[in-house]
Amino acid sequence: MTKHIVDRTRARSGAAKFQQYVRIDLADKPGAQLKILQKRPRSTDSHARAVRFAEIERRKVE
């Protein structure tokens, strides 16, 4: 039953395995753009935001 390609074990060198671990590790970390967005201060204009939210809610009801 070892004729299927999935059943065979592939001989990998240590470098190839290491590169895969590094790729997986880098994929799990947030990117540079995300870090920049997280550092930006939030808008402090809460009144204008509340007014805009109320306008959207009124449109939903109509």
- 1 Cβ contact list (under 8 Å, min separation 6): 7
Please name the amino acid found at residue 28: D
Neighbours of 3 (CB within 10 A): 6
Domain ranges, residue 43:
5-61
pLDDT tens digits for range 10-58 = 766 778 888 999 999 888 888 888 888 888 877 778 888 889 999 999 8
Residue type, 58: R
Global pTM?
Answer: 0.35
Q: How many domains does the chain have?
A: 1
Distance of CA 35 to the CA centre of its chain: 12
